Amino acid sequence: MNGFVSLVSEYLCENGLPKAHVYCDTRVELPGWFRPEKKWDLLIVADGQLLAGIEFKSQVGSFGNNYNNRTEEAIGSACDIWAAFREGAFKPSARPWLGYLMLLQEAPGSLRPVAAREPHFKVFPEFEEASYAKRYEILLTKLVREGLYDSACLLLSNAKGGTKGDFKEPAAELVFENFMASLWARAISISKTKR
């Protein structure tokens, strides 16, 4: 995912955000409420204020186990940072922008319907026979609609085309262009008020 981190970082800097405000290799730890700190993949910090944090995740194979782990990580990271924000960890920052980008391997195992286990209660209808790709779409959409993240992006790519830059965007609400527009709007609005 380093390529995506670099792409986003370069885009921000080429469009006017000072490079000194973008952190993606070092100094990417933020305090949490439920843990001392967590490393984010990209942070924007200007004049002692947290403007944005982004998680970049990918998954190749082992779709069943990894989907649950990624789901718990995404929810937990957001809950942790929002609790830390509520408790003043990032003073004097206004509410930061949070983003989540997922690159999923497009493969038979990620695209075929998956039965949900329902030994006691029924799952919500949208999860019935949903593939792992669809489950990620549902997860990211709900994370944004619940306000845990400001924007999310879901990309699918297979082993053959991925190295050439081929990808699919299965959900209009989760396309890369919208993700970047949301991030850029937040970054530039804050940076302009600091001049």
> How far, in Å, CA of 179 to CA of 130, rounded?
24
What CA–CA distance (Å, rounded) separates 164 from 152?
A: 23
Q: pLDDT tens digits for 57-77? A: 988 877 877 898 999 999 999
User: Nearest Cα to 154, choosing from 74, 83, 47, 79?
Assistant: 74
CA pair distance 174, 154, nearest whole angstrom: 6
Give residue 172's pLDDT: 93
Task: Work out the pLDDT band at 155, boundaries 50, 70, 90.
Answer: very high
Tell me: pLDDT of 195 over 60: no
Q: Residue 188: exposed, middle, or buried by beta-carbon count in 10 A (0-12, 13-18, 19+)?
A: middle
* Structure confidence at residue 112 (pLDDT): 92
Task: Report the pLDDT averaged over residues 98-118.
Answer: 92
pTM of model > 0.95:
no
The residues with which 29 forms a beta bridge, in sequence order, are 39
pLDDT band at 11 (very low <50, low <70, confident <90, very high): confident
pLDDT given for residue 42 in this prediction: 96
pLDDT band at 192 (very low <50, low <70, confident <90, very high): low
Cα–Cα dist 184/150, whole Å: 12
- Provide the pLDDT for residue 174: 97
Output 17 or 24, whichever has higher pLDDT: 24
pLDDT at 136 over 80: yes
